Amino acid sequence: MLDTHARKFVQPTIDKSADFFLKRGRTANQITVLALIVGLSTSFLYAWGLPVVAVIMLWLSGFLDAVDGTMARHTKTSPFGTVMDVTFDRIVEIGMIIAIAYVHPEVLWPLLLLSVSIIVSMTIFLVVGTVSEKAGMKSFYYQAGAAERTEGFIFFSIMLLFPDFLWWSTLLFFAVELFTGAQRFLEAKRILS
C-alpha cells in the first residue's frame, strides 16, 4: 500500500540517487546486486547482536532496490533484471526469517506461518503479473496490496527491534500477508475473468 501511495514523496530522492549512479557508469543490475548484498548483511548483523544496524542496512537495501528500478526505467529495462530484482527481494526476506529463527527459535511456528503467507501472496502477485495484459511502469503488471515491500520492512524492523513482541508481531505480519494474498486473488478474479 505504501509503495503504491507514498512513493511520490520519496521519488525525488530516488531519482537523484539513480542519476548519481548512472552518471558514474553503474547499471541497474549492478545496483540490484548491491541491494542484495546490503540486504543479506542485515541477517548477519542481526545474528551478531546488532539489531539497530541491521534495520538501517535493511532500509538501505530497500532504498537501493527502488533506485535500481528507477535506473532501469531511465535506461532500458531487461527481463533478466526483473527476474534478479524479484528473486533477490525474496532472498533478503528469507535471510531475515532465517536470522530471526536462529536468534529466537521459540518463534519457529509463527515464522513458518509467515513464510507460507509470503509464498502464497507472492505466487498470486507473480502469476497475475505474468498472465495480465495490463502493464504499468514496471516491466509487468504490479498488483498493489495491503502489504507491499515497505510494509514488510516495517514489520521486519519491529520484529528486529522489539523482541519482546516478536511472537505477536510475526503473527500480525502473517495475517496482513494472508489478507494481501486474498486481496490479490480477488482482484485477479475480477481483472482476469
Q: For 63-102, what is each residue's pLDDT tens digit?
A: 999 999 999 988 887 889 989 999 999 999 999 999 999 9
pLDDT for res 146? 76
Q: What is the CATH number of the domain that holds 27?
A: 1.20.120.1760
pLDDT for res 147? 78
Rounded Cα–Cα distance for residues 32 and 170 (Å): 27
Domain that holds residue 184: 2-192
Let me know: does 104 contact 163? Beta carbons within 8 Å: yes
Rounded Cα–Cα distance for residues 45 and 37 (Å): 12
Q: Which residues of 113-135 are buried (b: 16+ CB within 10 A; e: fewer)?
A: bbbebbebbbebbeebbeebeee
Dmax over CA atoms of the chain, in Å, equals: 49
pLDDT for res 138? 54
The whole model's pTM is what?
0.89
Helix/strand/coil percent split, the chain, to 5 = 85, 0, 15
What is the tally of structural domains in the chain? 1
To 5 degrees, how large is the angle CA 93–CA 78–CA 117? 25
Can you list the residues of the chain whose pLDDT is less than 70?
1-5, 133-143
pLDDT for res 1? 64
